């Protein structure tokens, strides 16, 4: 069965600190897809990144970076030099390629960046 665990319920950091949000997943499939979404205080859900199981290269986009490690079933998200605008709830999600079109989300991590 597929499962996504975001063990960090809430993280507080001071502006300009680096912060890593953890995501651990479980799946029996060899082909699967991982995602991160951001939900700012305004409530909308914003897609950040998609990764397939065959691509373990780390991804960097500005201050955001993602570390995908199949050996530990983790897909962690790091924000470098955090800013107040990064304050949001972040969700990790998993989709398996085994014939269904379902997505499983973690419970989310609330990030508070203090000025």
Residue 93 has a CB neighbour count (10 Å cut-off) of 20
Single residue of 12, 30, 69, 107 touching other proteins by CB under 8 A: 107
**Which of 45, 34, 31, 17 is CA-nearest to residue 94?**
34
Query: Counting contacts by CB under 8 A, is residue 27 touching other proteins?
Result: no
Least separation, in Å, of the C-beta of 110 and other proteins?
Answer: 10
Residue with tokens 């997943």, as numbered in its chain: 25
Q: Contact between 44 and other proteins (CB under 8 A)?
A: yes
Alpha-carbon span 81 to 102, nearest angstrom: 34
Q: Applying CB under 8 A, which residues contact other proteins?
A: 6, 32-33, 35, 37, 43-45, 47, 50, 52, 91, 93, 95-97, 99-108
């Amino acid at each position: 069965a597929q499962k996504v665990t975001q063990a960090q319920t809430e993280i507080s950091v001071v502006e300009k600190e680096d912060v890593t949000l953890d995501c651990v997943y479980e799946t029996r499939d060899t082909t699967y897809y991982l995602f991160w979404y951001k939900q700012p205080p305004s409530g909308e859900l914003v897609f950040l990144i998609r990764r397939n199981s065959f691509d373990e290269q780390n991804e960097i986009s500005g201050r955001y970076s993602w570390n995908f490690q199949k050996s530990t079933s983790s897909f962690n998200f790091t924000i470098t030099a955090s800013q107040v605008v990064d304050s949001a709830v972040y969700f990790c999600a998993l989709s398996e390629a085994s014939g269904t079109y379902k997505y499983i989300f973690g419970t989310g991590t609330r990030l508070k960046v203090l000025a």
